[in-house]
Amino acid sequence: MKIDDVSLFRVEGQWRGSGHPHGSRQSQALDVYPEFNDTGGGSGRVSDELRAISAIYLEIRADDGTTGVFGPIQRSQAFVIHEHLRRFLLGRDPLATEALQDQMLRMNRHGRSGLFMTGVSPVDCALWDLKGKALGLPIFRILGGPTRDAAPAYASMLGFSTEPAAAATRALEYKGMGFTAQKWFFRNGPGDGYEGQRKNLAMAEAVREAVGDGYPLMFDAFMGWTAQYATEMVRLLEPIRPTWMEEPVPPERVGELRRIRQAARVPIATGEHVYTRWQTKELLVGEAVDFLQNDPDWTGGITELVKVCALASAFDVPVVAHGHSLLAALHVAASQSPVTVPYVEYLVQGQESKQHFHKPIYRPSDGMVALPDLPGLGLVVDDDKIDRREELSF
Ligand SMILES: [Mg+2]
C-alpha cells in the first residue's frame, strides 16, 4: 500500500450558533497591555443566529482507495502539511505510522515543537484513521483497547459568563446533566489588579458552592498569569480544593511551575502547549506537574500521545488530553488504563461548532462519551452540510 494523494480541503456551510449567551473569554498573556485587555464581558445576547461556518480537513489517500481524514485543522497547520510534509508522504506506506512519525519528527531543524509539530500531528492522526479503515477496526482496538465501554468526559465551560451568580447557575445545570467534573476559566490576570483577582476568586467560590464539596472542579488561566500572581491565586484557591489549576504560566517555565505547585495544596496541570515526550519528560522529572494535557492534534499525533501516556504512567501522573478535537483523544483514552487517562475533555460550547460538519456528532450522555464503533477515528464529513468545498493549494 502506498500514499498516492495528500489533500487539504476547506468546506463552508451554515451553523445556528450554540444557543448560549455570549459569555466571558479566558485570561491571556497579552492582557497585561490595556489595549488587548478589553472587558470581554459578553453581550448577554443568545448566539443562535444562522451564521457562516468553515472548516479545513486533511485527507490522505492510499493507492487502493482507502482514505484517512482528520480535522478541523487550522490554516497554519494546513500550510505546514502542504509545504513540508505532502511531498515526503507521497509514495510511502501509510500503515507504517511509527516509521513515518519518527521520520517527520527528524525532518526539520525547527520541527521538534511549535507550528511544525502542529502540522505533523494531524498527519499522524489521519494515518491512524486510514489504518483503522484498512483493518476495519476503530483505532482504540488497534492500540489494545477498549479498557472501558465509554470514557468519562469533564465539562469544559469555556465561553460562559464568569459572573459568579451566572457561573453558579450554569455549573449546577451541567452537574444536573450528569457531568461528574467541570473546568472553569478565569477571566482576570495581572493586568486586572486586585479587583480582578477578587473577581476570579468570587467566581471559583460561587461555582464550588453550587456544585458542593467533593465534586471535581478545575480552573484554567491559559498561560495568562505571572508566577507571582499564580502563587497568590493558588493560595487563595486552596480552601475550595480544586482538582487542578491549569496553565498558570507557560509550560516551558518548569521551575516556576514547580514553585507554584509547592506554594499551595493545589495540583498543577499543563500540556496542551507541550510538544512530544521530550518536553513532557522535563515537566515530570522537574516535579512541576500533577496532570498532563498533551493534545493529540498538536503534541505529535496519536503515536506521540500513546508514548506520553506510557511515560507519564511511570510517574503516576494522569494524562487528560486537551480537547481540541474529541475523537483522537477519545481513542487514546479508550486504549489506556483508566488510572492513566481518567477523563477526556469536552468543550461544551466549542465542540458543537468543531463537529458541525461531521456525522455522527459525538456528545457525552450522562457525562460519558460512548466509544465510536466505526473503523478508524469514526469521523465522517457530512456532505449534506457543505455548501461549498475548495482544495487548498496556498
Ligand atoms: Mg487549557
Range with lowest mean pLDDT among 28-32, 123-127, 134-138 = 28-32
Domains of the chain: residue spans and CATH: 3-136+383-391 (3.30.390.10), 141-370 (3.20.20.120)
Report the DSSP pairing between strands 150-156 and 67-73: unpaired
| pLDDT of 87 above 70 | yes
**Ligand 1 centroid vs 133 CA: distance in angstroms?**
31
CB 185 within 8 A of CB 157: yes
**Ligand 1 centroid vs 11 CA: distance in angstroms?**
27
Task: Output the pLDDT for position 68.
Answer: 98
What one-letter code names the amino acid at 212? G
**Ligand 1 centroid vs 80 CA: distance in angstroms?**
24
Sign of CA dihedral 325, 320, 206, 162: negative
- What are the angstrom distances between the C-alpha of 76 and each of 65, 258, 270? 27, 32, 23
**Ligand 1 centroid vs 137 CA: distance in angstroms?**
31
- What is the C-alpha separation between 389 and 140, in angstroms, rounded? 30
**Ligand 1 centroid vs 223 CA: distance in angstroms?**
8
pLDDT in tens, 264-301: 999 999 999 999 999 999 999 999 999 999 999 999 99
**Ligand 1 centroid vs 311 CA: distance in angstroms?**
21
- What are the angstrom distances between the C-alpha of 193 and each of 90, 156, 200, 257? 54, 26, 11, 21
**Ligand 1 centroid vs 391 CA: distance in angstroms?**
31
- What is the C-alpha separation between 86 and 11, in angstroms, rounded? 20
- What is the C-alpha separation between 293 and 281, in angstroms, rounded? 13
pLDDT in tens, 309-368: 999 999 999 999 999 889 999 999 999 999 999 999 999 999 999 999 999 999 999 999
**Ligand 1 centroid vs 44 CA: distance in angstroms?**
24
**Ligand 1 centroid vs 388 CA: distance in angstroms?**
32
Q: Which residues surround ligand 1, an ion (CB under 5 A)?
A: 220
**Ligand 1 centroid vs 65 CA: distance in angstroms?**
38
Question: Residue 39 — very low, low, confident or very high, per pLDDT cuts 50/70/90?
Answer: low
Task: Output the pLDDT for position 41.
Answer: 56
Task: Output the pLDDT for position 228.
Answer: 98
**Contacts by residues 285-289 (CB-CB < 8 Å, ≥ 24 positions apart):** 286/254, 286/255, 286/257, 286/258, 287/258, 287/261, 288/254, 288/255, 288/257, 288/258, 288/261, 289/257, 289/261, 289/317
Cell representation of residue 181: 467534573
> What stretches of the chain show up as alpha helix (H) in DSSP?
75-80, 86-89, 97-105, 114-135, 139-142, 164-176, 193-211, 227-237, 254-263, 276-285, 301-313, 326-333, 350-354
